[in-house]
Structure 1
């Protein structure tokens, strides 16, 4: 039996995942349950895929205005693949912590280094900010020197003592088993 949709604010139907109504807003979507919505934001670099209902890479979505070049405003330089790597990496020109991987040398995907690290464009990998001269001060107003040092040189974790468990519910404890035997012998 067919039931017509019952739209409400941000929900074309009572239940489901729906993209944002405004063109160009690709990283936000609505999760609707009984006509009530929750707005969800995709992690940085991902966009909502209306076909799958999850966040994914922009090049996998196929929604006009939401492709990699639109989202990142970054175009992969043309490379000769016989000389270069298949998926070259390039520093994000605006953010030392991020870089672009150009899939098959053509499609940019934004990736990031872990907190405290930056992308070293010469070596093409993440490294501690102090080791990359052009990004040495990247975390200056974000993290203290002590916090950066703790990230780079974490203190060893102390092992917690193992929990002692009570008797097994599957196997009777030895003392309990011998008590049962004694009870049987007495009868």
Structure 2
């Protein structure tokens, strides 16, 4: 049985080599010298030398970047516009890797803030920066609101030790503009407030001594201008305004 499988593999390799030779013979070089894409397969290309074509193939998971015929370059699909060249070589998967090379979603569907980098079939797990999720349409980490990955829009939010987490939706500041890093009042302390970095990453904030947070202006202000906080420092002898 094992011998039959080995013979089958040898036969398949021979067929592929034969077909590749036929395709190379049929390919007409646009120029006498350079690297040119296969018309249907995005990870295949040709080296033209003196008008003769030699078929080549990118490593599995990468595709040919045809922007410069003077350079031989394979890159991840997110960086290359394959247009109508939609076919690819048969994948060479390994544990955790759909193909031998490239960036992919983490196998844990709940691990939106992690991704996989496969290099020659070797699995590498990597984290996104805090607050970001992996967007596989761009093969990079992105803010949830900017990502096309809808399955992660309801991913578990980061929260502080007091339970605060950034609310959903944009926050409009003075003039009706979206605040990129909106702030929110502390429920029990006029001097304190919360910052949502890029709208999603919570962080604690505090006004300087003598000032309190004004949720109407999103700034620290004189207590007299903030209803309910006028006597905040009168009740805190150690924090009296100078």
Give TM-score scaled by structure 1 length. 0.47
Structure of greater relative contact order (alpha carbons < 8 Å, 6+ residues apart): 1
